[in-house]
Amino acid sequence: MQAPSLGGVQVPRGNGKTVVRLRHGSSLNDFADKIDANPASLVTVLFHLGEMATATQSLDEDTFGTLAAELGYTIEMVSAEEEDRELLGAFDIDLDAELEAEGDEDLTARPPVVTVMGHVDHGKTKLLDAIRQTDVVAGEAGGITQHIGAYQVHTVHEGADRAVTFIDTPGHEAFTAMRARGAQVTDIAILVVAADDGVMPQTIEALNHAQAAGVPIVVAVNKVDKEGANPAKIRQQLTEYNLVAEEYGGDTMFVDVSAKQNQGIDQLLEAVLLTADAALDLRANADKAARGVAIEANLDKGRGAVATVLVQSGTLEVGDAVVAGTAYGRVRAMFDEHGEPVTVAGPSRPVQVLGLTSVPRAGDTFIVAPDDRTARQIGEKREAAERAALLAKRRKRISLEDFTQALQQGKVETLNLVLKGDVSGAVEALEDALLKIDVGDEVDLRVIHRGVGAITQNDVNLATVDSAIIIGFNVKYAERVEELADREGVDVRFYSVIYQAIDDVEAALKGMLKPEYEETQLGTAEVREVFRSSKFGNIAGSIVRSGLIRRNSKARITRGGKVIGDNLSIESLKRFKDDATEVREGFECGIGLGSFNDVETGDIIETWEMREKPRA
Ligand code: GDP
């Protein structure tokens, strides 16, 4: 059905319920495709709705929503997971259908995958170490020496040799990061609670995460060797959180352990297996191309991208073409937690994989593709999708200062302006004067909207969509609009003298309005001790002496007042074992400076950032 639309253009209309499915990062062209319309007419309709966009620009859900409502359509944005499912579908890979098609005869038992969670200092790391040492197989092979992000141990349970896989990054940050990407990795959570300390905030956080994910919990009551340890109290406290010990008639297993003295570790593994057998049906098809999750990854100078993946189903083999998130490649070699090469890895087996072209993120799904080319195409398509989604999220905003730069780089040709003034005469005068500016051929100046009165939400929205700058002459923001402009990153300038406005615009157009930057010190830290790590480089155990240390900020190192390293950056920052974004004065932290390894006790690490200098 064709009907006259806004602006007199003809656009096929929906009946109000017609659903149009769009991917994140779609443009008007994509929308036009779906409803069989001319993209140019959609640009016009959108313009009449007060939003400016080109046909190829990525738009966000709100903008599509407004347009669709006008035309009688309902927009459904395809979720990232669905999008990926569709993407894989285009390569004839359907993971859901694959799982559904598997019958009992295809499935074999697989070991449980366990994550250790709990409050800081309750002994998560120590416990993971203790478990590593009890491994009978590892005992023969000289113990688990490699930290690859996950390991598997063997124990004898009810007369049979059973394996248990542990995710070797304690804490629930890793757990949630993976869950945020839709990766359900953990089958069972061990909740560590120190018997001398009791239930603490992160204990509750951890158990909330596990319960939300529907993951059964085994409680390890740790540090029972300590004086003042009160294991009964822990059981008591946790009943409040629906964790009732078996001995109190509940169904949660509590095991008293001492990670330090290696007590109760076997019983803990026993409890994990009993819980797994009672509550879960842990089986997988080992006889197909591997599917799994990236647990941890880093870039190694000699070996390139090194990723630890957990195979969840199928069997991974050396030589397989693989794709993990946007990273792809061919498995060149695999290693287990003993550093031994392996050629195949079945369900629940963590392995370190060499051969990816880039570094995947923790939680990225990992699949074996039919061939190298498919793996590469999937990786590249995912990357393109991510980029488009990102672009749509921050549709290009611009300030007068950026404009100059963008102009010089040939990225823009038009300066769009929204003019608002207190009286119509002033607005007209301003517009006249601005349009008279002689700017040469390379650049255009367009006034996309003008009006009298305060700067409204509509003005900001307009400016947002078409990267315009708002000029207010003798006016203010309407209520709550300032926040919106801030949030959207729209440059709004206020003037009370017309010539000043004109001068600034002219300067921007002529490429003279360069932003000025100055160095601002953020804080300093003193190095107390240096830890050598082959994986992360040296870590400077430090105490923050002033201000704060922020991850990713610039850094320099001084020794005895002399600068010995400059233009470095804070590559990693940890509080105890957890990653931190910033650490404040008086606190201790571990600082990694990337490849810069010449750190000594007593050095001062100074961090700074470049801030734009406010214009006088
Ligand atoms: P995390 O922050 O939970 O990883 O805790 P850690 O494993 O780093 O342990 C914190 C502190 O508690 C360390 O000093 C450990 O040596 C100590 N610790 C851990 N387990 C035990 C235990 O069973 N008994 C005693 N006495 N100390 C322990």
CA of 187 to the centre of ligand 1 (A): 24
Residue 316's CB is within 10 A of a number of other CB atoms, namely 26
Instruction: Give the range among 175-184, 319-328, 443-452 with minimum mean pLDDT.
Output: 175-184
Residue 169 identity: T
CA of 122 to the centre of ligand 1 (A): 6
pLDDT digits 0-9 by tens, 586-597: 889 999 988 888
Count of alpha carbons within 13 angstroms of residue 413, beta-carbon side: 2
CB under 8 Å to 523, separation ≥6 — which residues?
A: 544, 545, 546, 547, 548, 549, 550, 585, 606, 607
pLDDT digits 0-9 by tens, 259-276: 999 999 999 999 999 999
User: Rounded to whole angstroms, how far apart are CA atoms 555 and 553?
Assistant: 6
Q: What percent of the chain has pLDDT over 70?
A: 88
Check residue 1 and give its pLDDT: 42
Q: Please report which confidence band the pLDDT of residue 176 belongs to, taking 50, 70 and 90 as the band edges.
A: low
Give the mean model confidence (pLDDT) for residues 312-336.
96
CA of 171 to the centre of ligand 1 (A): 14
Q: Which atom of ligand 1 is nearest to the CA of 257?
A: 23
Could you tell me the pTM of the whole model?
Answer: 0.61
Same fold, 110-284 and 397-512: yes
Ligand 1 pocket: which of 116, 126, 191 to mutate (most atoms within 8 A of CB): 126
Of the spans 207-221, 403-417, 515-529, which averages the highest pLDDT?
207-221
Would you say the CB of residue 222 lies under 6 angstroms from ligand 1? Answer: yes
Q: Are 269 and 131 in contact (CB under 8 A)?
A: yes
Record: fold of 397-512 = Rossmann fold (3.40.50)
Give the mean model confidence (pLDDT) for residues 31-49.
86
CA of 583 to the centre of ligand 1 (A): 23
CA of 5 to the centre of ligand 1 (A): 70
Would you say the CB of residue 132 lies under 6 angstroms from ligand 1? Answer: no
Instruction: Tell how far CA 235 is from the center of its chain.
Output: 36
CA of 611 to the centre of ligand 1 (A): 42
Q: Looking at the predicted structure, is the pLDDT value of residue 356 above 60?
A: yes
Q: Looking at the predicted structure, is the pLDDT value of residue 442 above 70?
A: no
Q: Which atom of ligand 1 is nearest to the CA of 120?
A: 2
CATH assignment, 110-284: 3.40.50.300
CB under 8 Å to 172, separation ≥6 — which residues?
A: 115, 117, 202, 205, 206, 209
Would you say the CB of residue 577 lies under 6 angstroms from ligand 1? Answer: yes
User: Rounded to whole angstroms, how far apart are CA atoms 542 and 528?
Assistant: 5
Domain ranges in the chain are 2-78, 110-284, 397-512, 516-613
Check residue 389 and give its pLDDT: 67
Q: Looking at the predicted structure, is the pLDDT value of residue 614 above 90?
A: no
CA of 193 to the centre of ligand 1 (A): 10
Check residue 82 and give its pLDDT: 81
Class of domain 516-613: mainly beta
Would you say the CB of residue 122 lies under 6 angstroms from ligand 1? Answer: yes
User: Rounded to whole angstroms, how far apart are CA atoms 415 and 386?
Assistant: 28
Ligand 1 pocket: which of 131, 260, 578, 579 to mutate (most atoms within 8 A of CB): 260
Q: Which atom of ligand 1 is nearest to the CA of 259?
A: 23
